Amino acid sequence: DVKVTQSSRYLVKRTGEKVFLECVQDMDHENMFWYRQDPGLGLRLIYFSYDVKMKEKGDIPEGYSVSREKKERFSLILESASTNQTSMYLCASKPSGRVFYEQFFGPGTRLTVL
Amino acid sequence: KQEVTQIPAALSVPEGENLVLNCSFTDSAIYNLQWFRQDPGKGLTSLLLIQSSQREQTSGRLNASLDKSSGRSTLYIAASQPGDSATYLCAIPKGAAGNKLTFGGGTRVLVKP
């Protein structure tokens, strides 16, 4: 079974802090994704990566950056956390090469910025 | 621009009743459609992926249909159980490689014992 893990289930940070959210997948997938989920707004794509050191902006990249130094690990970075970044963050992975494959999601990280 | 809609936003049924969940989309040129389940405070679990060339996909008590011409997919859950209570989301790939997903808003289901 595909396994996508996220470093924390719950995280509380203060405004202005630098925050790292880590995601690891164990299925050698080329593509990895970061989403945020908010009530009434649904799931929105922040960034995705289609290969090591490669990234592409999603629908809401402002205030975020990402890092993919190894194939299995994809990090989301909040350079200076703000209260409007309080949200549920979800990581996903997917094989490359064909559009027919499904995305597999991690358990999510609930981030609160005070 | 693809828009994905799920109506109703919430649904409550007695245990044993069949569940019918709807997903509508505006652009029929899709690669596939994926159905997910999300329990409160948790991540998404993939339920079914139905390819654009398929009309149905089945897994246990779950059956997903796809009608591209009318822009609709339906997820049927037979003989619902309290454990089926969750939010169900549909999603459609977008972009040249189909890596990005456009999600519907979800239908929150409560199955009463």
What is the full DSSP assignment across B54-81? -SEEEETTEEEEEETTTTEEEEEESS--
Measure CB to CB from residue B43 to each of A31, A90, A96 and give the nearest one.
A90
* A48 to B105: CB separation less than 8 angstroms, yes or no: no
By C-alpha distance, the chain B residue nearest A106 is B43
Mean pLDDT of A66-80: 96
Contact A43 B46 (CB under 8 A): no
CA distance A31 to A55: 9
Q: How many angstroms separate the Cα of B49 from the Cα of each of A68, A86, A100, B16, B101?
A: 27, 31, 8, 25, 13
Of the listed ranges A44-48, A78-82, A99-103, B88-92, the one predicted with least confidence: A99-103
Average pLDDT in chain A:
92
Is residue B45 a contact partner of residue A105, using CB atoms and an 8 Å limit? yes
Tokens of A60: 């809401």
pLDDT of residue B1: 83
Alpha-carbon distance B33 to B111, whole Å? 25
Percent of chain B beyond pLDDT 90? 79
Facing residue for A104 by CB, picked from B46, B98, B99: B46
Write down the pLDDT at residue A98.
Answer: 58
Q: Is the pLDDT of residue B47 over 70?
A: yes
What average pLDDT does this structure show over A62-84?
Answer: 97
Q: Are B8 and B108 in contact (CB under 8 A)?
A: no
- Contact (Cβ atoms closer than 8 angstroms) between residue A45 and residue A94: no
Q: Among residues of chain A, what percentage have pLDDT more than 70?
A: 95
Supply the Cα-derived Rg of chain B in whole angstroms: 14
Residue B52 has pLDDT above 70, yes or no: yes
Give the pLDDT score at A96: 79
Nearest to A25 by CA among A87, A103, A111: A103
Chains A, B: CB contacts under 8 A, how many?
57
Tokens representing A41 are 């707004």
Q: Is the pLDDT of residue A76 over 70?
A: yes
For testing contact with chain A, the best of B99, B100, B101, B102 (most A CBs within 10 A)? B99
Closest Cβ–Cβ partner in A50, A90, A107 for B99: A50
Contact A94 B43 (CB under 8 A): no
CB contacts of A42 in chain B (<8 Å) are: 103-106
**pLDDT confidence band for A97 (50 / 70 / 90):** low
Vertex B78, ends B72 and B84: CA angle to 5°? 90
Q: Which residue has the higher pLDDT, A74 or A99?
A: A74
d(C-alpha B84, C-alpha A31), whole Å: 30
pLDDT band for B38, please (50, 70, 90 cuts).
very high
Q: What is the mean pLDDT of residues B62-72?
A: 95
Reply yes or no on whether the pLDDT at A29 is more than 80: yes
User: Closest to B99 (Cβ–Cβ): which among A4, A90, A94?
Assistant: A94
Residue B34 above 90 pLDDT?
A: yes
Q: Tell me the chain B residues in contact with residue A106 when contact means C-beta distances shorter than 8 Å.
A: 43
Q: Is it the case that residue A99 has pLDDT exceeding 70?
A: no
Partner-chain contact A58 B100, CB within 8 Å: yes
Check CB contact under 8 Å for B34 and A103: yes
